[in-house]
């Protein structure tokens, strides 16, 4: 029991650190927590993704409440992204349910998807600093219809990516929104992205829960740390030291991406006609 208590403490601390990063930057829910669960705590990729989605949803409810109280959420953007992300998440869940019948190859697909999106997220984190400096230059004449359509498409891409790997709603979403809405204050873009992630993660997380991919005990321990962390991070978001935090976060994401690629290559393919492989003891 003592050992179990120590593991629970580590999970809570991990939740605290990731929750704080989410509140500060809008990044970290899937980009950091899922690799931590897979690489450091030894959970299967399916359990890590499923649990992290509900973790991110509940954590970002607290974060979006703080951003909402500070009027840093643009609900137009949230609605436009949700128009694409919600249907995409439902379709991805249906496809993932079907792919899940092929066994260990499902684990490999999730790991490769996660690793690829982490690499893109690392690039997005680095690119955000350049976008912050040149956002006025990036603004080009565009019709309202083109901006709306682009936002819906962005939501659809993020919806599919988040459902499969739990990554994409943070740095990638914020980075593209900076290009689409260069005149909008950065705080409103971060707040809008966090608010949009709530319904998306709830839908995707519920789907994974119905498929048996959520560890309730792990989820509870992560939330014990993440909820106070995201509240503090959201309040401090306007004072975040971007010149230090963003390069560090990009390095962590890049290393995690590489390690997950290595793990995916070591995961054997299962015969397509076989039933799903047994879950790990952490599932």
Per DSSP, helices labelled H in 166-215 are 171-180, 186-210
Quickly state the pLDDT bin for 151 (edges 50, 70, 90).
very high
Output the pLDDT for position 181: 84
Q: Where are the domains of the chain?
A: 2-266
Q: How confident is the model at residue 22 (pLDDT cuts 50, 70, 90)?
A: confident
CB atoms within 10 A of CB 277: 17
- Predicted pLDDT at 266: 73
% of residues, the chain, pLDDT over 90:
17
Any alpha helices (H) in 103-241, and if so which ranges?
Answer: 104-138, 144-165, 171-180, 186-210, 216-235
pLDDT tens-digit series, residues 99-109: 654 456 666 77
The span from the CA of 40 to the CA of 250, in Å, is 18
Q: What's the rounded Cα separation, in Å, for the pair 142 and 182?
A: 12
The secondary structure of residue 266, as a DSSP letter, is H
pLDDT at 136: 59
Tokens 């993660």 belong to which residue?
201
Average pLDDT, integer, range 26-53: 83
- Stretch among 73-87, 132-146, 166-180 having the lowest mean pLDDT: 132-146
197 vs 114, higher pLDDT? 197
Share of the chain above pLDDT 70, in %: 75
Residue in 193, 162, 44, 34 with CA at minimum distance from that of residue 108: 44
pLDDT at 238: 59
pLDDT band (50, 70, 90) for residue 272: very low
Mean pLDDT of the chain: 78
- Mean pLDDT score, 150-177: 81
């Amino acid at each position: 029991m003592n050992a179990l208590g120590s593991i629970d403490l580590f999970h809570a601390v991990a939740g605290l650190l990731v929750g704080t990063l989410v509140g500060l930057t809008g990044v970290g829910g899937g980009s950091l927590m899922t690799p931590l669960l897979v690489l450091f705590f030894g959970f299967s990729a399916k359990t890590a993704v499923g649990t992290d989605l509900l973790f991110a949803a509940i954590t970002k409810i607290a974060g979006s409440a703080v951003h909402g109280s500070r009027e840093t959420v643009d609900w137009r953007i949230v609605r436009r992204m949700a128009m694409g992300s919600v249907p995409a998440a439902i379709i991805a869940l249906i496809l993932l349910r079907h792919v899940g019948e092929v066994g260990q190859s499902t684990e490999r697909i999730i790991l490769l998807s996660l690793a690829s999106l982490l690499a893109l997220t690392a690039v997005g984190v680095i690119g955000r600093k350049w976008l912050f400096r040149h956002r006025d230059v990036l603004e080009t004449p565009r019709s309202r219809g083109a901006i709306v359509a682009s936002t819906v498409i962005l939501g659809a891409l993020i919806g599919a990516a988040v459902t499969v790997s739990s990554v994409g709603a943070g740095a990638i979403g914020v980075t593209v929104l900076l290009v689409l809405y260069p005149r909008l204050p950065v705080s409103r873009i971060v707040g809008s992205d966090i608010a949009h992630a709530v319904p998306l993660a709830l839908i995707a997380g519920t789907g994974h829960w119905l498929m048996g991919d959520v560890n309730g005990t792990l989820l509870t321990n992560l939330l014990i740390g993440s909820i106070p962390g995201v509240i503090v991070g959201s309040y401090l978001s306007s004072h975040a030291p971007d010149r230090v935090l963003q390069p560090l976060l990009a390095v962590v994401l890049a290393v995690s991406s590489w390690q997950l690629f290595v793990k995916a290559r070591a995961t054997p393919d299962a015969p397509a006609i076989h039933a799903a492989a047994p879950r790990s003891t952490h599932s």
